[in-house]
Amino acid sequence: MLNEEWPRSVGARFHSQKRSCREAPPMSFLLLDDETGRLIGHARLCLLPNRSKACWIESVLIRKSFRGRGLGKLVMRRLEDWMRDKNFDEAFLSTDDQIVFYRSCGYEDCQPIVHSTAATSVFPIMSKIEIPLQAEHADSRTLEKSKVCKNGNVPPPPPPPPNTAIKSAVVATVHHQYMRKKLENVLK
């Protein structure tokens, strides 16, 4: 279902979905047909690297034949309920073409934020990683090149690619909008 809307290789999609089969973000929420067990809705929830009380919502999708029945709003409410239960107080997302839908769910436009679907536990340590020069494995040409660069004698850049005229191109002009919603505690 996801590949119908957003095509990716089978391997990439499998890897992404495998990482999302968890009980904590990053995780997928699935909406299944009670009678057939068929997948009819999907959403993915991820942590944000610099906002401990917020989540990132992505890949919200309802199977085309089930759209227009309020199931997208149901998925969004269930996501938000789960976030509230886990003490998250804010949700963020971005969209190219569903701004009206998300506004109807209570989301407001906001400035772009840092988000990633990678394992967010790596963010605090990434800036501390240094890759040491391993001289014992470097040959004399590599060491000689690094001396040249340190002295300011940098070789010229490669030439630009040939200028080829593009007869026609499709350029996406759809507005990419970041959105947020403050999650107030709601009595159930």
CATH of the domain at 30: 3.40.630.30
Q: What is d(CA 28, CA 46) in angstroms, rounded to the nearest whole number?
A: 9
Model-level pTM?
Answer: 0.61
Going residue by residue through the chain (188 aa), what tens digit of pLDDT does each one get? Answer: 544 554 545 554 344 454 545 566 677 888 889 999 998 999 999 999 889 999 999 989 999 999 999 999 999 999 999 999 999 999 999 999 899 999 999 999 999 988 765 444 444 443 343 333 333 334 444 444 445 455 567 778 788 777 665 444 443 434 689 999 999 876 55
| Tally of domains in the chain | 1
Closest CA to 83 of 133, 114, 45: 45
Whether 19 is covered by a domain: the verdict is yes
- In whole angstroms, what separates CA 134 from the centre of its chain? 35
Whether 143 is covered by a domain: the verdict is no
The structure tokens listed for 66 are 């089930």
Q: Is 160 helix (H, G, I), strand (E, B) or coil?
A: coil
pLDDT of residue 49: 87
The structure tokens listed for 73 are 């709003």
pLDDT of residue 41: 92
Whether 39 is covered by a domain: the verdict is yes
Sheet strands (E) in 25-143: 27-32, 39-48, 51-62, 90-95, 108-110
Whether 151 is covered by a domain: the verdict is no
Whether 162 is covered by a domain: the verdict is no
Whether 167 is covered by a domain: the verdict is no
Whether 152 is covered by a domain: the verdict is no
Q: What is d(CA 8, CA 25) in angstroms, rounded to the nearest whole number?
A: 22
Whether 21 is covered by a domain: the verdict is yes
pLDDT of residue 160: 78
What range does the domain containing 7 cover? Answer: 1-120+173-188
pLDDT of residue 151: 57
pLDDT of residue 164: 61
